[in-house]
Amino acid sequence: MIAKIKELIEEVEKFKASTTDEIEEFRIKYLSKKGGLVTEFFSEFKNVPKEEKKEFGQILNKLKDDVSDKVNYLKQILKSKDVIDTSADLSLPGSSYKIGSRHPISITRNEIVDIFTRLGFVISEGPEIEDDRHVFSALNFPPEHPARDMQDTFFIEKNPDILLRTHTSSVQVRVMDNQKPPIRTLSPGRVFRNEAISARAHCIFHQIEGLYIDKDVSFADLKQTLLYFAKEMFGEKTKIRLRPSYFPFTEPSAEMDISCSLCGGKGCNVCKYTGWLEILGCGMVDPNVLESNGIDSNIYTGYAFGMGIERIAMLKFGIKDLRLYFENDLRFLSQFH
């Protein structure tokens, strides 16, 4: 019987299969509990002479292990063959995946942040759901100011004290509450206003606001900072002009225009033939704002400015419809690789 088992071991070593059915037949032939060759040899173990039992048992266990290993090996070979697509031409060059791109709002935001961080401004962020003090009261908004009305502001569950922030100036209030001058902070973020959605307006948009407070800060400092920004953002030939305006939290206040980069200041339909494009509001921080936030206005002065990122991106990329920023149309977004 030992000689017979040795012959079977040689057969197992030489066995080959090309289908799973052949492998299964091979396994049943040797390892089946009913009629399998290995099972039959084990049942004959009691008839083996005592002096041959050890050798018989060792060689029979080898046969069993060899059959199991052979079955597993052949299954792995067939499985690897199934994975390979024989119809593919492996000599052809591979196809590359298209690389995604940043959203134009993110591109513009990052560029603005990069310019002001070179001037020493530090990024500050705050919650989008705010209270009345941080959005209005601490910024010198009187109780009767129109921005408090339901038509402009989203209030939470009709609670007049909890609302979606209408500007990122609320972050500046938090900075002033927790930091002593000098303060040089930049506050980018998403803001909300209850406005009808159109090509020129949206109820959701993004702002970047800057605040600088220190001793002897002047309007000239503000002008030079904004001139530097305009030239870095729109080109060295860009000019700026400041027009008097009004904001509750700054005095004096101004709106800043830049020379139209499309027509070079000569006048076109984009700048309405004026040669100028409005991009931001600014001014010296009102003393009332400093005092309400625990800063002595007799010692410190400061300036603030704010701009809409969508507005800057429209000028930067020639986009004429605000709604495109929110539609996630790949035909639009793929232009910003």
Q: How far is Cα 130 from Cα 155, in angstroms, rounded to an integer?
A: 10
Are 53 and 172 members of one domain? no
- Residue matched to tokens 């502001």: 153
For residue 235, pLDDT over 80 is answered with yes
Query: DSSP H helical segments within the chain, as ranges?
Result: 2-14, 20-31, 37-43, 53-83, 104-117, 132-135, 169-178, 219-234, 287-292, 309-317, 330-333
CB atoms within 10 A of CB 315: 21
| Edge-first strand listing for the sheet containing 183-192 | 122-123, 183-192, 204-214, 301-308, 276-285, 250-259, 240-247
Mean pLDDT of 185-192: 95
Cβ atoms of 139 and 133 within 8 Å: the answer is no
Mean pLDDT of 72-94: 74
Q: Which amino acid does the sequence have at 169? A: S
Are 42 and 149 members of one domain? no
For residue 248, pLDDT over 80 is answered with yes
Are 112 and 52 members of one domain? no
Are 202 and 266 members of one domain? yes
Dihedral (CA of 121, 126, 128, 130) sign: negative
Structural domain span for residue 9? 2-82
Are 49 and 159 members of one domain? no
Residue 87 located in a structural domain: no
285-321 pLDDT, tens digit each? 999 999 999 999 999 999 999 999 998 998 888 888 8
Are 74 and 153 members of one domain? no
Are 78 and 108 members of one domain? no
3-state secondary structure of 213: strand
Are 66 and 170 members of one domain? no
pLDDT band at 85 (very low <50, low <70, confident <90, very high): low
Are 78 and 132 members of one domain? no
Q: What is the mean pLDDT of the chain?
A: 87
3-state secondary structure of 257: strand
> What is the number of structural domains in the chain?
2
Cβ atoms of 203 and 192 within 8 Å: the answer is yes
pLDDT band at 11 (very low <50, low <70, confident <90, very high): confident
End-to-end alpha carbon distance in the chain: 76
For residue 52, pLDDT over 80 is answered with no
Are 254 and 313 members of one domain? yes
Q: How far is Cα 309 from Cα 174, in angstroms, rounded to an integer?
A: 22
Give pLDDT, residue 171: 96
Give pLDDT, residue 32: 81
How many CA atoms within 13 Å lie on the side-chain side of 117?
11
For residue 83, pLDDT over 60 is answered with no
Residue 89 located in a structural domain: no
3-state secondary structure of 48: coil
CA angle 20, 21, 22 (to 5 degrees): 90
Give pLDDT, residue 87: 66
Q: How far is Cα 145 from Cα 92, in angstroms, rounded to an integer?
A: 69
Mean pLDDT of 53-82: 80
Dihedral (CA of 242, 321, 205, 246) sign: positive
Are 49 and 119 members of one domain? no
Which CATH number covers residue 166?
3.30.930.10
Q: How far is Cα 13 from Cα 4, in angstroms, rounded to an integer?
A: 15
Domain boundary among 52, 82, 112: 82
Give pLDDT, residue 129: 94
Which of 152-161, 169-178, 247-256 is predicted with the least confidence, judged by mean pLDDT? 152-161
* DSSP at 269: T
Cβ atoms of 125 and 208 within 8 Å: the answer is no
User: What DSSP element (H or E) covers 157?
Assistant: none
Burial label, 108 (beta-carbon count in 10 A; 0-12, 13-18, 19+): buried
